[in-house]
Amino acid sequence: MLTVVATRSATPHVRALTAADEVQARAAHGRLAADGVEFCLGLDGTESWAAWLDRTERLRMGGSVPPWVPETFVGAFVGPTLVGRLSVRHRLNEELALVGGHIGYVVLPEHRRRGYAGVMMREALRIAREVGLDRVLVTCSDDNHASVRVIETAGGVLEDVVTHPVSGEPKRRYWIALDAPVP
């Protein structure tokens, strides 16, 4: 007799990256660079991990580290495994107000399609509330079907579709109100 056992992916939890995460985070950063996606925001080849962690923590605490606005950056983990990252900007500058938005998230390719991004979006909205936001702007490429799904499931209301000033690609801009309970 064939027994079918349904498996459920574990739920990721989010936390700040630490010194112990350097190997996993740098590997993720290198792997996604080929897709044009930045994993560790602002990390370049010359910066030490300690310096990157320090800058990231200063941004989380609301410190201004130009050109970045204050931002909370966390890794998403399933057990000890880094599966993604998310960032929540505490406020918008001119560029973010047009195409970047408050929230950015990435799931590593080998961990996609397991519902992780939906969970991470809920965590992002929790963080956004904690830093005092009452609504967030979330943007994505018009053809990023997974991200559209994540944003709309989280209650995103489409404001408009704008043209990215550099790439020229159409970008969807959604607002998510934070006064309602997270779905």
Binding site for ligand COA (CB under 6 A): 37, 105-107, 112-118, 140, 144-147, 149-150, 153
Nearer to ligand COA, 70 or 118 (CB): 118
Q: How far is CA 95 from CA 51, 77, 80, 143, in A?
A: 26, 30, 35, 21
* Residue 3 Cβ vs ligand COA, minimum distance, rounded to whole Å: 26
Nearer to ligand COA, 24 or 144 (CB): 144
* Residue 87 Cβ vs ligand COA, minimum distance, rounded to whole Å: 11
Nearer to ligand COA, 62 or 183 (CB): 183
* Residue 116 Cβ vs ligand COA, minimum distance, rounded to whole Å: 4
